[in-house]
Structure 1
Amino acid sequence: MSDTTAPSTRRTISFLLPVYDEAENIEVFHAALVESAAHLEDRYDVQFLYVDDGSSDGSLAVLKGLHDRDPRVVVLALSRNFGHQKAVTAALDACHADAAIIMDTDLQDPPRVSLDLVAAWEAGADVVYAQRLTRDDSAFKRATAHVFYRVLTRAASIDIPRNTGDFRLLDRKVVDELRLYREHNRFLRGMVSHVGFTQVAVPFHRDKRHGGSTGYPISKMVKLAGDGIFGFSTAPLQLISRVGMAFSLLSLLGIVYALVVRLAYPENAVPGWAFLAITLFLIGGVQISMLGILGSYLGRVYVEVQDRPLYSVADTIGDPW
């Protein structure tokens, strides 16, 4: 008679962990994560799903070492750098656990907060997002983040919570819904808001980056902001019409003023070549800016029509569930 092991009936939680050039942070982060996850292991089976997003600093080798020492570690190695949002998407596509917790690996998202996310999920929430009360960043980054969230709140067609990143817990049914969203210019926190379900916030204090340099320099921050605004709002297109109407009104007022001066006060009529040149340059600049907005939307349509894969996986180490 063969000896078979009954499958585990315990629920599962998978930590989804995108990595890009984090070699000096991974070991410290993983130790802190394991320490926090130990508080869950009496109730859940836990897995750590790392996605190496084409790192060039030896991060993949460190991750392979983690897998050799800890069989709960699974590694997806992407074929090149596809970007943070697509690395998280790869993890979501591979995840089949009852709940997924998305975290960055630079220790700005404290692993201990994941216990609060799980507690809120156990209380009935489908999405639990970590909302920053404070953040240990430069004044410039705090100021630009503040401006971004204010603009996004006003422009977006859905309610995207302020001061949140991708640090959140997603129930299985939410992960399944997100896997249907295949647009290339991805803004995951907007997609999660668009999905709906029961969503609650867990406030936390964001820590300082442990080491290395941020994977989000100003250029990537601007692109992410554009993905959020253009992906979830038609406000820029509406702005074109409003600016056009405003300049038409100004032109009409200018015509009325010129006629009044010319007919009623001809002695005050002075040729205004400088004013005319400035006006032409201003209108030309506005027109080019508006064409740029149209081009942004058109470019996104072009990328979506190509329908290329979001990412490519070069290697899978371990068995994700």
Structure 2
Amino acid sequence: MTLISILVPAYNEEATVRDCHRRISAVLATLPDLEAEIIFTDNHSTDCTFALLTRIAAEDPRVRVYRFSRNVGYQNSVMYAYKVARGECAIQLDCDLQDPPELIPRMLELWQQDHQVVYGVRRRLPDGPVVAALRRGFYAIIDRISPDDLPRNAGEFRLTDRRLLEQIRLREDRSPYMRGMISAMGFSQVGLEYDRAPRMAGTSKFPLRAMMSLAVDGMVNHSLVPLRLASTTSILVGLLTFLVLLGYLIGKLILGQEWPPGFATLVILLLMSITLNAMFLGIVGEYVGRIFLQTKNINAPIVQATLNVPAPANQAVIPDQTVMQAAE
């Protein structure tokens, strides 16, 4: 039987994790010709999420759980799940059930038609008009500035073939942008439109600050345009400054113009120069910061506890006692 992997990142999802498992199981019951594993990555939840996952794993041997020793961020959590997936394909969906598991059979149909990636295209968003406009604007901008073919309005709900999973296992990216990484790998990729549902319970783990951080990761990881913009603007401003200086010298030395003291001009030029330097040093700093994270191997997930996962022969994962007591 063909094995498929269902990947579900979770962080403080005690209100939804039971319903998420129930709906995934109901969908899998309609696919008797397939074998499945359900991988939950617990991003060091501080509520009862891990305790509930412990009970779910005891009831369902298909469930595998990885709890991290600290919160490593959504993208790192997802990347780890892709690396440990054993299936011929992996389907990622969020634990809040905004991405309906009931679309899994349709994704599998498209996969069986020899598409290596099937990504969900958000036809309608439950967000307010401002947030929805920001999302769509970001997708449009990153698609234009990136040399990769990044689909617009596509989120994290996707199916990925085994061939791409093997490539992901080779990557050691400490600030990954998974939807861009997978899109850039090529192969046959097709979109599946759907209406994103509102969160059924709990609170969103992606406030505006987190979305802005993800937007910066996407732009920096998949485009050199910010650096080129910094270089081009610096050249243009330098040329403009040179022309102003040249005009001043011609007027003063050749035409005999009597100019007022140049204090205001100097202040304007100095402020413009300082502003540009600060702005573009910030852009360069974003790239340098990612090089630092990569070389120091910061944000690498450390597994604190596992459920239904055989420990390696030479290494035993020691669960945190506080967490296990909560689970009991």
TM-score under structure 2 length normalisation: 0.88
**Deviation (angstroms), 1:270:** 3.8
Aligned to 1:38: 29
Residue of structure 1 aligned with 2:8, choices 11, 14, 17? 17
Q: Secondary structure at the match of 2:174?
A: coil
CA separation of 1:160 and 1:29: change in aligned 2, threshold 3 A:
same
Alpha-carbon shift at residue 249 of structure 1 (Å): 2.4
Instruction: Provide Cα deviations, 1:26-80, integer angstroms capped at 9, x if missing partner.
Output: 122222222222222x220122111111000111011112122222222111111
Counterpart for residue 128 of structure 2: 138
Find 2:290's aligned residue among 300, 310, 313. Answer: 300
Q: Deviations over 1:221-259 (max 9, x none)?
A: 222112111111111111121011110221133234434
The question of whether the paired residues in 1 share the 8 Å contact of 2:293 and 2:299 is answered with no
**Cα offset for 1:264?**
4.5
Kindly, what percent of the aligned residue pairs are identical? 32
Letter in 2 for 1:26: V
Q: Tell whether 2:197 aligns with 1:207.
A: yes
Alignment match of 2:76 (pick from 83, 86, 102): 86
Query: Could you tell me how far 1:158 is from its partner in structure 2?
Result: 1.0
State how 1:237-256 maps to structure 2 within 5 Å: 237-256=227-246
> What is the CA–CA distance in structure 1 between the aligned matches of 2:93 and 2:49, rounded to whole Å?
16
| 2:20 paired residue number | 29
Name the structure 1 match of 2:158: 168
Gaps of 5+ in 2: 311-328
Gaps of 5+ in 1: 1-9
The structure-2 alpha-carbon separation of the partners of 1:298 and 1:309, relative to structure 1 and needing over 3 Å to count, comes to closer
Pairing of 1:181-200 with structure 2 (within 5 A): 181-200=171-190
Larger deviation: 276-285 or 49-58?
Answer: 276-285
SS at match of 2:101: coil
Q: Which amino acid aligns with 2:75?
A: Q
Q: Is the 8 A contact 1:178 1:195 kept in 2?
A: no
Question: Equivalent residue of 1:112, what SS?
Answer: helix
2:83 touches 2:169 (CA, 8 Å); kept in 1? yes
For 2:264 and 2:100, locate their aligned partners in 1 and report how far apart those are by CA, in whole Å: 59
Report the aligned-residue RMSD: 1.9
AA of the residue aligned to 2:70: R
Report the CA distance shift for 1:117/1:265 in structure 2 as closer, same or farther (over 3 A).
farther
What residue in structure 1 maps to residue 308 of structure 2?
318
Residues 308 and 275 of structure 1, relative CA distance in 2, 3 Å threshold: closer
Cα deviation digits, residues 173-229 of structure 1 (max 9, x gap)? 111111111110110111101222111111111111112221122222222112111
Matched position secondary structure for 1:278: helix
> What amino acid is aligned across from residue 19 of structure 2 in structure 1?
V
Q: Which residue of 67, 76, 83 corresponds with 2:66?
A: 76
From 71, 78, 89, the equivalent of 1:99 is: 89
Residue from 210, 222, 234 that aligns with 2:212: 222
Q: SS at 1:86's partner residue?
A: helix
* Alignment partners' CA distance in 1, 2:225 and 2:210: 22
Give SS of 1:167's match. strand
SS at match of 1:222: helix
Letter in 2 for 1:68: A
Which residue number corresponds to residue 264 of structure 2? 274
Query: For residue 61 of structure 1, what is the amino acid of its counterpart?
Result: A
CA distance in 2, matches of 1:279, 1:193: 44
Distance in structure 2 (CA, Å) of the matches to 1:90 and 1:221: 21
Contact preservation (8 Å) 2:76, 2:299: no
1:313 is displaced (CA, Å) by 0.9
Q: Distance in 2 between matches of 1:158 and 1:264?
A: 54
In 1: Cα distance, 2:14 partner to 2:104 partner: 22
Query: Contact conserved, 2:107 with 2:159, CA < 8 A, in 1?
Result: yes
Runs of 4+ deviating beyond 6 Å? none
Go from structure 1 to structure 2 and tell me whether the alpha carbon gap of 1:309 and 1:251 turns closer, same or farther (over 3 Å shift).
closer
Deviation per CA, 1:107-136: give whole Å up to 9, x if none: 111111222211110111111111111111
* Cα drift, residue 146 of structure 1: 2.1
The range that moved more, 209-218 or 124-133, is 209-218
Aligned counterpart, 1:116: 106
Give the letter for the 1:16 counterpart.
L
